Amino acid sequence: MRYGSTKKILVTGGAGFLGSHLCERLLEQGHEVLCVDNFFTGARRNVAHLLDNSSFELMRHDVTHPLFVEVDEIYNLACPASPVHYQFDPVQTTKTSVHGAINMLGLAKRLKAKVLQASTSEVYGDPEVHPQPEEYWGRVNPVGFRSCYDEGKRCAETLFFDYYRQHKLAVKVVRIFNTYGPRMHPNDGRVVSNLIVQALKGEDITIYGDGSQTRAFCYVDDLIEAMMRMMATGPEVVGPINIGNPGEFSIRQLADLVIELTGTTSKIVSRPLPPDDPRQRRPDITRAKEVLGWEPSVPLREGLTKTVAYFQQLMRE
């Protein structure tokens, strides 16, 4: 499906896992793409296959500093999204969410451009409501180890809505739930990549607690489709809108499936639960179905098979 006429589109965090897939899709649609990344978690290899495309430009830049470019639309994806990375420098993580949002909103205001914020299910914290609808305000620890990311993203949403109300800016906010697929960082500490890498190396497979905590896993292609549909909506659609897969699996179920797909002889071992780790996480995607006409289509087994193949190739290189 094609979304609108040809545009010059800025993707911050464009060399990251999600950003690289988004850049690819936008180029397929015939758009010009400016990919901006500081390469803290993004990697040049994720977009190396796009560099020969005359409609693609790669720029090293940190969104905590102002950016002066001319574009029609902005997808703001810049921010480390895994605990290993966002806890490495928590102050910088908060700056990336907050200063990055301010800079991208300022750019959008100057250009009268449409701007989409890639927010997160982490704004719901360790939820008391299940599944999580957009109306739920969340249960977040403001002073914990995950707060730099959770509260940074919550503040970014506040800024987007204040720019919308105060400056009539065309903003879009999506809340992304667990997403997986090729180009995930092998050392990002996220559960899908963790389990696959451990299995392929023949190491013990680590789960936390008894593995009964649940997550909903969305394959990257489905997620990117939802983001592009959101950007293509009219000015009356602001969000926030949950995008993710409502299929709920326990971490233990995921580990068992990874063992099956990799054929590993690895054993599952249990470690203590980290602080503020949510017990349940599943999106209510009613709004996405109604407003975007979207729901995910890739089953977990199919998506994991593709993801395992990617990591197998990566480990052979």
Q: Which residues form the catalytic set?
A: 149
For 13-34, b/e burial (b = at least 16 CB within 10 A) is bbbbbbbbbbbbbbbebebbbb
Place of tokens 């480390």: 80
